[in-house]
Structure 1
Amino acid sequence: MQPLVKHLGMIDYQNAWQEMRQFTDVRNAATRDEIWLLQHPPVYTQGLAGKPEHLLHAGNIPIIRTDRGGQITYHGPGQIIAYLLLDMRRWKLNVRGLVRLMEQAIINLLASFDISAQGRAEAPGVYVGDEKIASLGLKIRSGYCYHGLAFNVNMDLAPFSSINPCGFSGLRITQAKNLGIEVSQTRLETLLAQNLIYLLQQQEPEKITRSCKP
């Protein structure tokens, strides 16, 4: 069964984080996986490995230390957040495989608009040239994951200048609008979900076998 996709609109980060943890706490092997698509009001989030020196100047934007992997990043309106609440065993995925899958979903989405993007082994995320357009962060608990990815669409990028994004000083940030993508954010959410589900389904051995038959 493919994951249930939920379009949730604007949600406070702390509330979404709590709901993800609650979902994961009570789920079991029979629970349907979910993908949540949403936005957050302005917030900096600091991952488990986050170093305080990567926050250069917070201003009035709140900072939340969270339980995902990675360093510091910024979330705000005009950015698509995709939270993946998955049973890793169901999809036969390890952490590296899921990271690559999330990156590939963004890469494929951008390719549909004739934009070439790539991941980086040493710095997870998606890049167009030297500019980062999507960041990743996961938490795995008892074989279940939550958190996910953030894809910059049409947002105020200025708050990124007050941090070392994902721990990299001087890292430049871009977004879909700056690359000439003018479709609605709702449409991009739908395309992202379709790409994520398609790639997840390729992990299922029985579907891969069937697809190889004439």
Structure 2
Amino acid sequence: MTAVVRALGRVDYTPVWQDMQAFTAARGPNTQDEFWQVEHPPVFTLGLAGKREHLLREVGVPVVDSDRGGQVTYHGPGQVVIYTLVDLKRAGLGVREMVNSIEQAVIDLLATHGVASQRRAGAPGVYVGHGDDEAKISALGLRIRNGRTYHGVSLNVDMDLTPFTAINPCGYSGLRVTQTRDLGIDLPPEAICRQLTDALQRALYA
């Protein structure tokens, strides 16, 4: 089995979030998993554990209180977002295994372009570099209801990273962020999105 892929284009965060909730509430034991490919207009989202103190200053970007896990992050044009609507029970996955699989898909994708990346203990997502040169390139947050996930993963591709300086990304003060363009991967978001979708299919259903 693989997931149905839906390309939603550039759409506001809140309607997609509401649609994910509705899809998850309505799905039955035989409902096929889905990946929703999307790009959002500029928005900060606060996860369930999110603290307003991590919003450092007002920069004209709206803030949405979301029901995903994690702290604060930024979505904007030039960033690939894939929402993973997956039945964990049917896939035989625990939450940690699901998170690891998503992270591994990003790590595998970057590796195909010669970029080494890694996880960080206690801080979900994917990072490049080490020590003072470490920077986050991918964030993830999930919500589980009745053994099914929604929300998913974002990967910075070719975007204005400036809004990240107005927050403590994922709750970490001084955490640097980067993107595939700045790592020498000369591909537009649409191409990276296709590649990440394929990597997620392999990571979750191979």
Q: Is TM > 0.5 for Structure 1 vs Structure 2?
A: yes
Q: What residue in structure 2 maps to residue 157 of structure 1?
A: 161
Q: Which deviates more from structure 2 when the two are superposed, residues 186-195 or residues 165-174?
A: 186-195
Per-residue deviation, residues 82-140 of structure 1 (Å, max 9, x unmatched): 10001001111111111111110000000000000001121110001110000010000
* Aligned positions of 1:159-174 closer than 5 A: 159-174=163-178
Q: Which amino acid letter does the alignment assign opposite residue 86 of structure 1?
A: V
Give the secondary structure class of the aligned counterpart of 1:118.
Answer: coil
Q: What residue in structure 2 maps to residue 182 of structure 1?
A: 186
CA contact (8 A) 2:136 2:178 kept: yes
Please list every run of at least 4 consecutive aligned residues from structure 1 whose deviation after the TM superposition is greater than 2 angstroms: none
Q: Distance in 2 between matches of 1:152 and 1:101?
A: 18
Q: Distance in 1 between matches of 2:159 and 2:64?
A: 20
* Aligned positions of 1:73-112 closer than 5 A: 73-112=73-112
Q: What residue in structure 2 maps to residue 24 of structure 1?
A: 24
Give the secondary structure class of the aligned counterpart of 1:6.
Answer: strand
Decide which of 130, 146, 153 is 2:150's aligned counterpart: 146
Give the secondary structure class of the aligned counterpart of 2:163.
Answer: helix
Q: Which amino acid letter does the alignment assign opposite residue 99 of structure 1?
A: V
Q: Which amino acid letter does the alignment assign opposite residue 200 of structure 1?
A: L
Give the secondary structure class of the aligned counterpart of 1:109.
Answer: helix
Give the secondary structure class of the aligned counterpart of 2:86.
Answer: strand
What is the deviation of 1:194? 0.7
Q: What residue in structure 1 maps to residue 113 of structure 2?
A: 113
Per-residue deviation, residues 45-87 of structure 1 (Å, max 9, x unmatched): 0000011110001321000000000000000000000100010
Q: Distance in 2 between matches of 1:131 and 1:59?
A: 22
CA contact (8 A) 2:88 2:94 kept: yes
Give the secondary structure class of the aligned counterpart of 2:186.
Answer: coil
Q: Quick check: which has more Rg, 1 or 2? A: 1
What is the deviation of 1:184? 2.2
Q: What residue in structure 1 maps to residue 41 of structure 2?
A: 41
Q: Distance in 2 between matches of 1:94 and 1:26?
A: 21
Matched residue count: 202
Q: What residue in structure 2 maps to residue 131 of structure 1?
A: 135
Task: Give the TM-score normalised by structure 1.
Answer: 0.93
Q: What residue in structure 2 maps to residue 197 of structure 1?
A: 201
| Structure 1, unpaired ranges of 5+ | 203-214
Q: Which amino acid letter does the alignment assign opposite residue 12 of structure 1?
A: D
Give the secondary structure class of the aligned counterpart of 1:172.
Answer: coil
Q: What residue in structure 1 maps to residue 54 of structure 2?
A: 54
Q: Distance in 1 between matches of 2:69 and 2:187?
A: 31
Q: Which amino acid letter does the alignment assign opposite residue 113 of structure 1?
A: H
What is the deviation of 1:199? 1.1
Q: Distance in 2 between matches of 1:150 and 1:185?
A: 11
Q: Distance in 2 between matches of 1:89 and 1:58?
A: 41
Q: Distance in 1 between matches of 2:53 and 2:203?
A: 37
Q: Distance in 2 between matches of 1:58 and 1:109?
A: 34
Q: What residue in structure 2 maps to residue 8 of structure 1?
A: 8
